[in-house]
Amino acid sequence: MRAAYIAVAILTGINLFNYLDRYIVASLSESLKRSLTLSDTQLGSLMSGFVIVYMLASPAFGVLGDRRSRTRLIAGGVAVWSVATALAGLAGNYLSLFMARATVGIGEAAYGTVAPALLVLSCIS
């Protein structure tokens, strides 16, 4: 049962960062517009790109979560998402920021799709 509590604590921490990262673009919108000279359309498309990639990748990770190691999928997703977040911080133009944010969508889809099943399984055992 101790392992279940540890799993819940770790996944809760990851989920906190998941939500912080998801909404960081909105909170930094004015800074991003000034520093990268983004239009309102470009700024809005950063969130749209993330959501569309997240939506398209989630079913694939759902299938993989049933066939592969959930812990490895989560670890891989968090790794991809972390690297993409770092690349977004280093982005010098709209295209590189857009690609990084879209890649964050892939990493978060891996975590967001697979983690609930892992939680249920760890609480049952």
Per-residue pLDDT of the chain (125 residues; tens, 9 = 90+): 777 788 788 888 998 998 888 888 888 888 989 999 999 999 989 889 999 999 999 999 999 998 999 889 999 999 999 999 999 999 999 999 999 999 999 999 998 889 888 776 656 65
Alpha-carbon distances, residue 77 vs 23, 50, 70, 98 (angstroms): 18, 14, 10, 18
Two tokens at 117?
């099943």
Residue 84 confidence (pLDDT): 95
Q: Which amino acid is at 99?
A: M
Report the pLDDT value the prediction gives residue 12, as an integer from 0 to 100: 87
Terminal Cα-to-Cα distance of the chain (whole angstroms)? 8
Please say whether the beta carbons of 104 and 50 come within 8 A.
Answer: yes
Distance CA 125, CA 3 (A): 9
Tell me the C-alpha distance between 14 and 98, whole Å. 23
Res 115: pLDDT: 86
Q: Write down the pTM of the prediction.
A: 0.86
Q: How far apart are CA 111 and CA 64, in angstroms?
A: 12
